[in-house]
């Protein structure tokens, strides 16, 4: 099988061609046991008629030329030809339509019986490499662009997800007597993925249309585009050492530490001292005797003991010399917080490459440049270039490509969120987001990870690492630059549909990453997941003091793929004992303004005992919010998450903070709560399925 299709590919490459003609593409597919309409090659009218007569069926005829990629637009396709005269005429018209082109013949093939029209394709993404596309054809792909993508290679569950997530999936499942063989379709997607992995010169593919039937499928047209072979992925054994000691160092030197308040060297060293870093600190400044009570050294080579981490805060031009000195002194990790490198242009990029070459020569890992270092509350380490107030030890990890942004948000977020690790990666000269994600995920203190990304390096490794991590720890990503379209090729319909942001969304789904819409959304999700368990059931129990907010919450959970839970009869009797005479609803339960903390607590405890309740939305009054803190903080909710909705919460921040500290996330609208619970529930279902495979 491989020998047959390799001969076709090698012959095209030897002829200097990057485009496999339809009959060649179909031969490749047929050698993979993929069903096609075939393509008999005619080089004369007589041969065309002979093939037509052998097929005993209406036929389609198409030009075969290495110079013609888009056959239909150029007049190179004739359909539903039913007699010899029509075949002869079609042959003449096709040949006449391409003067000056190299035409090797005309394909004659049986007209396929009608089915559900689909498209399967492969495109190349500059970040993630080859990606597989699936969608319904015709108006669905041309107008609605109802397609799904996954990075290759795909798994069986990826193939299933690709099919189920398109809006037209209901047509495939069955509609008015029309259905499709979904198992055969899944196998087709897997076969294409395996073929692309085995043949790195495959750049693009289009199987369009593919007719789907209740008993299989048929590829009606196909094209394959060749390119430069993709480099083989680096073996896992070749990856550098893990980064544990970067996050838990025994000693830190700050090169460029300053005794002058307001300077970045002052901020970084002051943060380390004021947060009581447990290891040894060495300020490096040739003009100072001591900084913040610590003996200063003129250069790192004068420090008498080994240094685990060196933080560099000097001008970009001299940074390579400082990096080399650190390497010679045995420093294992270097954090370059200085700016003025590749973000400013080619001169800065040259300096970066020089630093990278030096660090690689010595086997030293380098974070940055243009970053704000690492914060680890579990070892009292704050490397930030901005002054950071007191932090609590927490279970949230944050990986941010924007250093100042991450540090700046701490001023407010530290009151309602407890971060364990905040790592900023800047220009990602060496250590990138995947390295940091992997290291943070290994930390037993971290239960949920947030990431702000502008780009991804080593795309396929990112997918594989994230997919492994999300089985145990949720990862929430905010990816900026959504509107930047990816490169579009002219040869492939698939490539023209593959916008950069679409691919990122697909990759996140493939990795079970939760994609956030904005910063508020990311931190709302992180607060909910870090404080509460994931729902294991879709039923939601709503408790409210305002009927309108209860109705809005009920609508919102439906919009998010969940439903109102139904209490068992014996639990309804318990609930009725609590309800005032004027309250008749049992979900949402609307206590109006008679709602108080003990009533809410007792109602939640009833829901906790129900097998149909998976989570709670509790709508609380802002004006008496403080009265709920003790009662709600003491509930044993047995793995069922509770999220509070407080309209006007921004005017009750003191009590909001108290309730957050008690472990109850507080959101401002029912829609925000329902959105979070829906995402948490879907994530639970996804990872449960992945674990079972």
What digits encode the pLDDT tens for the residues 644-660?
Answer: 999 999 999 999 999 99
Helix (H, G, I), strand (E, B) or coil at 688: helix
Looking at per-residue confidence, does 408 or 256 come out higher?
256
Mean pLDDT estimate for the chain = 91
CA distance 340 to 188: 50
Q: Which band of pLDDT confidence, cut at 50, 70 and 90, is reported for residue 487?
A: very low
* The pLDDT value given to residue 491: 40
Percentage of residues in the chain with pLDDT exceeding 70? 94
Confidence check: pLDDT of 140 > 90 = no
Q: Quote the pLDDT of residue 189.
A: 98
User: Is 533-692 the same fold as 244-446?
Assistant: yes
- Is it the case that residue 498 has pLDDT exceeding 50? no
CA proximity to 436, closest of 512, 373, 513, 493: 373
DSSP string, 603-670: HHHHHHT-TT--EEEEE--GGGGGGGHHHHHT---TT--EEEE-TTGGG-HHHHHHHHHTT--EESSH
Residue 535, pLDDT > 70, answer yes
Residue ranges per domain, the chain? 2-110, 116-229, 244-446, 533-692
pLDDT over 50 (residue 486): no
Judged against a pLDDT cut of 60, whether residue 302 lies above it is answered with yes
Neighbours of 321 (CB within 10 A): 13
pLDDT tier at 240 (50, 70, 90 boundaries)?
low
Predicted TM-score (pTM) above 0.85: yes
Count the neighbouring beta carbons within 10 Å of the beta carbon of residue 106.
Answer: 29
- Say if residue 19's pLDDT is above 50: yes
279: tokens are 């290891």
Looking at the predicted structure, is the pLDDT value of residue 571 above 80?
Answer: yes
Other CB atoms within 10 A of residue 561 CB: 14
How is domain 2-110 classified at the architecture level of CATH? 2-Layer Sandwich (3.30)
- Judged against a pLDDT cut of 80, whether residue 429 lies above it is answered with yes
- The average pLDDT across 244-273 equals 96
CATH code of 533-692, in short, is 3.40.50.261
Section 256-267 average pLDDT? 95
Q: Is the per-residue pLDDT at 366 higher than 50?
A: yes
pLDDT for residue 332: 96
Paired residues of 135 in beta bridges = 119, 147
The CATH number, out of the four listed (3.30.470.10, 3.30.470.20, 3.40.50.2020, 3.60.21.10), of the domain defined by the range 116-229: 3.30.470.20
pLDDT score recorded for residue 481: 77
More reliable by pLDDT, 167 or 364: 364
Under the banding of pLDDT at 50, 70 and 90, the label for residue 400 is very high
Residue 143 has pLDDT above 70, yes or no: no
| pLDDT of the residue at 203 | 95
pLDDT digits (tens, 9 = 90+) for 453-465: 988 987 899 999 9
Q: Is domain 244-446 in CATH 3.40.50.720, yes or no?
A: yes
Interval 197-225: pLDDT, tens? 999 999 999 999 999 999 999 999 999 99
Residue 150, number of CB atoms within 10 A of its CB:
25
Give the rounded distance of the alpha carbon of 261 from its chain centre: 41
Q: What is the pLDDT confidence band of residue 178, given thresholds at 50, 70 and 90?
A: confident
Evaluate if residue 665 carries a pLDDT over 70.
yes
pLDDT of residue 494: 41
CA distance 425 to 427: 6
pLDDT of 345: 86
Q: What is the pLDDT of residues 70-104, one digit of tens each?
A: 787 778 999 999 999 999 999 999 999 999 899 99
Q: Could you give the C-alpha distances from 209 to 139, 202, 206, 217, 219, in angstroms and in order?
A: 12, 20, 9, 10, 6
- Which position has the higher pLDDT, 411 or 589? 589
∠ at Cα 275 (270, 277), nearest 5°? 95
Rg of the chain on CA atoms, in Å? 31
pLDDT of residue 483: 58
Nearest to 201 by CA among 119, 149, 124, 132: 124
Q: What is the distance between the alpha carbons of residues 427 and 337, in angstroms, rounded to a whole number?
A: 10
Confidence of residue 485 (pLDDT cuts 50, 70, 90): very low
The total number of residues written for the chain in this structure: 693
pLDDT digits (tens, 9 = 90+) for 303-335: 999 999 999 999 999 999 999 999 999 999 999
């Amino acid at each position: 099988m491989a020998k047959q299709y390799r001969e076709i590919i090698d012959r095209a490459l030897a002829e200097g061609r990057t485009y496999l003609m339809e009959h060649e593409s179909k031969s490749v597919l047929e050698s993979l046991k993929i069903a096609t309409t075939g393509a008999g090659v005619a080089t004369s009218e007589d041969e065309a008629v002979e093939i037509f007569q052998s097929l005993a069926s209406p036929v389609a005829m198409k030009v075969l030329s290495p110079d013609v990629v888009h056959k239909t637009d150029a007049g190179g396709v004739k359909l539903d030809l039913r007699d010899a005269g029509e075949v002869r005429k079609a042959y003449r018209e096709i040949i006449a339509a391409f003067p000056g082109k190299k035409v090797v013949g005309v394909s004659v093939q049986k007209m396929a019986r009608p089915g559900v029209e689909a498209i399967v394709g492969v495109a190349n993404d500059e970040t993630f490499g080859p990606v597989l596309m699936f969608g319904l054809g015709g108006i669905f792909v041309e107008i609605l662009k109802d397609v799904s993508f996954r990075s290759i290679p795909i798994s069986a569950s990826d193939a299933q997800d690709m099919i189920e997530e398109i809006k037209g999936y209901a047509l495939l499942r069955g509609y008015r007597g029309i259905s499709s063989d979904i198992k055969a379709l899944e196998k087709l997607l897997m076969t294409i993925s395996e073929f692309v992995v085995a043949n790195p010169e495959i750049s693009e593919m289009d199987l369009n249309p593919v007719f789907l039937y209740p008993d299989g499928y048929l590829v009606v047209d196909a094209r394959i585009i060749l390119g430069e072979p993709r480099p083989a992925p680096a073996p896992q054994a070749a990856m550098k050492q893990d980064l544990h000691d970067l996050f838990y160092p025994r000693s830190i030197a700050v090169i460029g530490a300053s005794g002058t308040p307001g300077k970045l060297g002052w901020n970084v060293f002051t943060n380390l001292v004021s947060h009581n870093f447990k290891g040894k600190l060495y300020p490096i400044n040739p003009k100072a005797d001591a900084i913040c009570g610590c003996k200063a050294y003129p250069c790192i080579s004068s420090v008498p003991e080994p240094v685990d981490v060196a933080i560099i805060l000097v001008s970009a031009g001299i940074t390579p010399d400082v990096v080399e000195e650190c390497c010679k002194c045995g420093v294992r990790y270097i954090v370059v917080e200085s700016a003025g490198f590749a973000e400013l242009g080619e001169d800065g990029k040259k300096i970066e490459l020089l630093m990278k070459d030096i660090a690689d020569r010595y086997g030293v890992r380098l974070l940055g440049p243009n970053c704000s270092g690492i914060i680890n509350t579990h070892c009292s380490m704050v490397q930030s270039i901005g002054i950071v107030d007191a932090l609590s030890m927490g279970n949230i990890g944050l990986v941010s490509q924007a250093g100042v942004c991450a540090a700046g948000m701490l001023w407010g977020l530290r009151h309602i969120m407890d971060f364990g690790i905040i790592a900023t990666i800047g220009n990602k000269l060496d250590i990138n987001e995947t390295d940091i994600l992997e290291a943070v995920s290994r930390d037993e203190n971290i239960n949920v990870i947030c990431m702000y990304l502008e780009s991804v390096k080593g795309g396929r490794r990112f997918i594989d690492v994230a997919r492994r991590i999300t089985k145990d720890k949720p990862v929430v990503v905010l990816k900026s630059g959504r509107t930047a379209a990816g490169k579009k090729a002219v040869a492939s319909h698939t490539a023209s549909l593959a916008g950069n942001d679409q691919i990122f969304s697909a990759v996140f789904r493939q990795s079970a990453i939760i994609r956030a819409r904005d910063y508020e959304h990311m931190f709302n999700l992180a607060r909910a997941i870090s404080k509460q368990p994931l729902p294991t059931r879709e039923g939601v129990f709503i408790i409210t003091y305002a009927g309108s907010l209860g109705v809005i919450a009920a609508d919102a959970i439906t919009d998010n793929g969940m439903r109102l839970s139904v209490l068992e009869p014996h639990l309804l009797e318990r609930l009725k004992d609590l309800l005032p005479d004027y309250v008749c609803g049992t979900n949402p339960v609307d206590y109006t303004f008679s709602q108080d903390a003990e009533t809410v607590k007792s109602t939640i405890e009833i829901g906790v005992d129900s097998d149909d309740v998976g989570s709670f939305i509790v709508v609380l009054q802002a004006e008496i919010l403080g009265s709920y803190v003790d009662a709600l903080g003491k509930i044993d909710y047995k793995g069922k998450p509770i999220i509070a909705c407080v309209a006007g919460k921004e005017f009750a921040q003191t009590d909001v903070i108290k309730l957050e500290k008690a472990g109850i996330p507080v959101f401002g609208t029912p829609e925000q709560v329902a959105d979070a619970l829906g995402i948490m529930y879907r994530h639970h279902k996804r990872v449960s399925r992945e674990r079972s495979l």
